[in-house]
Amino acid sequence: MTESTASPWYRHRWPWLLMAGPFVVVVAGISMAVVAYRGADGVVADDYYKRGLAINRTLAREARAEAIGLQADVALREGRAVAHIAATGPLPDRIQLTLAHPTRAGEDRVVSLARTPQGTWEAPLPPLAHGRWRLILETPEWRWSALAQAAG
């Protein structure tokens, strides 16, 4: 009688190939969990409903600016912001100017423009990085915005 000597299971190739698939899936799942935990998406806001309501208020203020025929020309030069503003109604003595960088929120600047005797609104301006900026003139009643190019 002949004895068959079968090698143990771990010496065969097929069990290892069959176990490799689930092992790869477990490793990929753990690595994706680590990536998801470390790289939280800053685009998704926790208070999205409140932000949606704020957008509606902003749109209403922009419509108000259009209704009063608001026109503005903002010049950024020599370390100063100068705004020439025209509207059908009275304008306040102070107007907030926001210089918003399109990609780096940390670069945003806010200055308060004051009315001058010449009928313009002016304020000292902090240095700006070269590139595009969104200019936003606003009061509690209205909001006006435009794009600008800063030469840095």
Residues 6+ apart with CB under 8 A from 73: 83, 84, 85
Q: Is the pLDDT of residue 152 over 70?
A: no
Q: Looking at domain 70-150, which of 3.40.50.1820, 3.40.50.920, 3.40.1160.10, 2.60.40.10 is its CATH number? A: 2.60.40.10
Confidence of residue 1 (pLDDT cuts 50, 70, 90): low
Q: Is the pLDDT of residue 101 over 90?
A: no
Supply the mean pLDDT for the chain: 87
pLDDT in tens, 23-41: 999 999 999 999 988 876 6
Radius of gyration of the chain measured on its C-alpha atoms? 31
- Give the DSSP per-residue string, 77-119: ETTEEEEEEE-SS---SEEEEEEE-SS-GGG-EEEEEEE-TTS
Confidence of residue 21 (pLDDT cuts 50, 70, 90): very high
pLDDT in tens, 39-83: 766 666 777 888 888 888 888 988 988 999 989 999 888 889 999
pTM above 0.75, yes or no: no
